Amino acid sequence: MNYPPHNAWRHHSSSPLGALVTMAATCLTLLLFRVALWLVVPLLLALVLYYLLRPVYFWLTRIGIRPDLASGAVIACFCVAAALACLFAIPGISSFFLQDHAFTERYVAGSLRLLHQVAAATDLRLARFAPSDFTGKLDHEIINFKGRLAQIVAPTIAALSRWAPAMVLVPFFTFFLLKDGQKLNILLTRMVPNAFFESTLVLLYEIDEAAKAYFRGLFQLTVLDTCVLSIGMAIIGFPAPILLGGISAILMWIPYLGGLIAGLGACIIAIAEFPDRPQFLYYTIILFLAVRSLDDLVFMPMTIGRSLHIHPAIAVLMILLGGSFAGIPGMTLALPVFGILKVIFDSSGLILFNARLMARYRHERSLRRHEATAGLSSPR
């Protein structure tokens, strides 16, 4: 009997129909995530920590430490390091937001100056074609925005405060993923018929490898972006370049929109810090454009690009659909969810469309039916 080649379904799943099915499943998953976003986000952050801390956990178990003690030690060290980082960062952040009002007003004035410069340049460019008054309209909108600012800030702070208890679940989830991750694989494989046992192990391995490659690649990309941005901001003369570079790199987790927000924030800081030297604004724009180019051409192929093989058109479409279904978290999660579902569909297709495996499964069912009916008298 001639069986289909091993990669037949993998080729089929890359077809337009297979891509549409995977995209529909991704949208449905993101819609479900939106309902329980308070639980999904800590679980995904726990997955990031799990794949980052797992090598240390495996090293501790290899030297003879029990799994529960090894996972507890790894999580305890991480929590201590995170607490120390917060202790060092909180005084400066609280001083910025609560004490140094002049500092805050200077940045607000810098952002308004940037908006006025953009509006004035727009008026100058469009004056050749039709009269426009973007500057006057901008002043009117700024006045209206200041009147609505209190109505925006209070609900935002309340929403963020509701997320604080959920973040406590991150080390809790990570501990049990480290401690019982192998047991979970055993539990899943016990539910699978023997005919599909080996293929299910391959499926679980591929899902684990895809998730590990993506989350580790995301961490590596963040470190590279932080280093480049911090060095560039230090050369330009930004205050706290390492902190600003790290925040900008984390914002870049949001595809496309995150880089724009980080670059705009850096431009505001450049105008506020160097009001009499406009060339620093140009240096900042060049820095973020250079980092964006490095991400696309060098960093992402070295990190995330190794894990998710997604066509650029499908990637952009999934980011837009993720934003429409689940907002900013949906934009961030669209690509990893699509990549993992693609692995599941590819490997499941290899199982369901493999004639040899299906023949083994039918033979197994026949044997079990024969054993169940052995010794029973046939009706007359």
pLDDT at 163: 64
pLDDT at 9: 41
Question: Measuring CA to CA, which residue among 143, 131, 157, 170 is closest to residue 39?
Answer: 170
For the chain, residues with pLDDT lower than 50 are 1-13, 99
Length of the chain: 380
pLDDT at 59: 93
Rounded distance between C-alpha atoms, residue 276 and residue 272, angstroms: 9
Rounded distance between C-alpha atoms, residue 120 and residue 299, angstroms: 37
> Given its phi and psi angles, is residue 238 left (phi above 0), alpha (psi -120 to 50 degrees) or beta?
beta
Rounded distance between C-alpha atoms, residue 321 and residue 369, angstroms: 47
Distance between terminal CA atoms of the chain?
39
pTM greater than the 0.75 cutoff: no
